[in-house]
Structure 1
């Protein structure tokens, strides 16, 4: 989902007109950034007990990599130790509008934090939104020069596989995120009628990392199916990473209760005006965190039971809403 710098996000939220505005939820004396760090650390520790090589990749909210949220701040070591990479949308294209260059000051701001993570040995996965050939090429060239792997997504709904071969295509066997030379962000499988159709489409590609959803038409992928998805067309192997939103509740997920449509839990805040059906949550709340990880029916348990190689955590920047 689209990322915003804190000042811009607050201006947008001020104009949303929601009864559950950020100010109505901002009554607690909390460190919202540390709350999110702690949430991610808890997810990481739980997953790595099951699989020590499980990759944890937060997307956006990159300011969390320093303790004070400033570009020159001290690294947030405990948080950095818990993660294996950072995802970043709109670094070069898509910040204001898809297929439009991101303002230079925004790019430089984001890179200053991304490089804190990169310098700590973490992999940086950029998703730019552009479709013009020259812009796609520019995105790959500049991201590679910065030491990041990137994906030029031709549409923000993330439903399609590009016809072109992956940038830095290779036949390597990828067993860790550090080895990856490219990735694809393919979290919306609406173009596929069955899981097997999706599997066939993915295994016809040579991406090193596939970021996808746990479900297709409410049916979770099994460990056997995830193992199929690891096969690259050229004989290599890839990582299969599962998308999971932890800063918003989604009313189409298995955990959503019908009663919430009329009476929502106290930890659900406003609906995201840009993504209907997605609701900001007080992510530090123990009930919400229990849905995400820590028990036998949690979202994370479903992901680890399905044999995914890692998790791609979205809406990390939810702290900006509450601030």
Structure 2
């Protein structure tokens, strides 16, 4: 049985993942092996969660199911494979509610949890509601890692104190004045980033470092490196051309305060770049101290333009971190046809620290968003958007305008929502759609690698590369609701247009019910209409006048006729509650064929 220090896997999970060597194949007359029964029970629980109704609780269950399905799939291939979701730790609890206790099957399948920008919230004495979920997971003997942007020495000390107090493994992303103090003449970006292989002593992690420490279980780790995008080491030979192209239309791209791009400039005598804008106090200070001749950090260091991959790998190998989170590709920014995954030999070379200790090498994998530079992205899923701050290629996605949803054009329906912020090259996905589950977990997707024609899933690629585990980003998208709407509007749209894509059972939409007076109180009952279908009856308080026609559902005060209902089938109705013509809330109700009462 596989165990972790201080925490045994639940019996059902351990049995499901047990491996029997040299056992004879069971005959047809024998009962299923215990591990088969346990695996079947886990799969049944996953299917139950996936089958949840629309709405926030249903999406909570569907993301729990996704995490469990991925983890079970991975651990069936390699029982020692680690699974670490990032964000939304409430997913580890029943119904996403910390007060209801952990969801044992899920917690038994994951090995840790990660978070960005958590520790410095609140007063550091009483945990916030969000912090409480992560601290509960620490108490359940999961490794919890956290990274925050830290901008002053005082903030850095407070950050480490809170991490030590709460048993969380910290990694500070150094920004602001602190970046300039700790890396004089080398780092000017105002915001912290996760691009650099930092010297742990420079950023204050020295007391947590031991190069001889073996980390085979994540609970053995005392530190980690958050390096999920190796931007400073990527495709150096293209940087000058990119800068010239930007400068042709936008002369202020040489911002040394922009960590994604020109924050990678450093003072260099004879360098071709001059930091802008001149009236920025940070830029003025930098020029006063170092002059106005700057160049890319790697060229100033005397490195060859083709040495980026080797420089990055050497920096990782020479570090003493216990756990490293990295991308599974070197050239993260390349288009899918030109990406080169890390080789198995390269990954194996990262698993031992310079002083011999074993470390864990974990691959970054976004499961809640599709990215335009990943193997599965087809050319017609992207469009050229010069306003994208990171790349001109942006992902197509569903749109929300004044809380009205429209699906993506000429792209898969599961590219559900725009990611927002500075990430136009990503789209939030309908993660429970079978096509996305095939891309990330199961394989066999119709969307193959444009270069190789391979349809191997992302998690199987990562396992075959030799990674010790996967870091699952964007699991928190399940609750996304912005000013212009989000998942509620996505579900409402599709329930009104034939059903949510990829669902296994039909949906009937009943929406837009606006009574003449007060709050709607809707009840449902179904009765046979002479064997020619069923009628849906609505019981309302103070309903006035006829209701509108809505798709294949026509309804009025006397009831509604719905085409295509089958006896013995459960259907879901999505109801919009209106008060005075304004939507006050949405909810999902279930109705089944039966006799109308009253």
> CA 1:119–1:313 in 2, change beyond 3 Å: closer, same or farther?
same
Query: 2:61, 2:95 within 8 Å by CA — same for their partners in 1?
Result: no
What does the per-residue CA deviation read over 1:103-154, in whole Å, with 9 as the maximum and x for residues that have no partner?
3499521221112222222111111111322222221221122111111112
Where do residues 252-271 of structure 1 align in structure 2 (5 Å cutoff)?
A: 252-261=373-382, 263-271=410-418
Stretches of structure 2 that go unaligned for 5 or more consecutive residues are 1-52, 175-190, 235-307, 332-338, 383-408, 444-454, 481-486, 489-598
Query: 1:62, 1:113 within 8 Å by CA — same for their partners in 2?
Result: yes
- TM-score, normalised via structure 2 length: 0.46
Question: Does the alignment pair 1:64 with 2:83?
Answer: no
Where do residues 147-166 of structure 1 align in structure 2 (5 Å cutoff)?
A: 147-154=167-174, 155-165=191-201, 166=205
**Which one has the bigger helix percentage?**
1
Q: Distance in 2 between matches of 1:35 and 1:42?
A: 10
Q: Name which one, 1 or 2, has greater alpha-carbon Rg.
A: 2
Moved more, 298-307 or 268-277: 268-277
2:36 equivalent in structure 1: none
Q: Distance in 2 between matches of 1:291 and 1:44?
A: 15
2:68 equivalent in structure 1: 41
2:318 to 184, 188, 204: 204
RMSD of aligned C-alpha atoms?
2.0
1:173 equivalent in structure 2: 214
Stretches of structure 1 that go unaligned for 5 or more consecutive residues are 1-26, 94-101
Query: 2:149, 2:193 within 8 Å by CA — same for their partners in 1?
Result: no
**Matched length:** 289
Moved more, 181-190 or 123-132: 123-132
What does the per-residue CA deviation read over 1:241-290, in whole Å, with 9 as the maximum and x for residues that have no partner?
00100011111111100122262200111221112211011000000010
1:74 equivalent in structure 2: 101
Higher relative contact order (CA 8 A, sep 6+): 1
Where do residues 1-323 of structure 1 align in structure 2 (5 Å cutoff)?
A: 28=54, 31-93=58-120, 102-104=121-123, 108-154=128-174, 155-165=191-201, 166-167=205-206, 168-170=208-210, 171-193=212-234, 194-217=308-331, 218-261=339-382, 263-274=410-421, 275-295=423-443, 297-321=456-480, 322=487
SS of 1:268's partner is coil
Give 4+ residue runs of structure 1 displaced > 6 Å after superposition: none
What does the per-residue CA deviation read over 1:45-88, in whole Å, with 9 as the maximum and x for residues that have no partner?
11112211111000011111221333322211111111111101
- TM-score, normalised via structure 1 length: 0.84
2:40 equivalent in structure 1: none
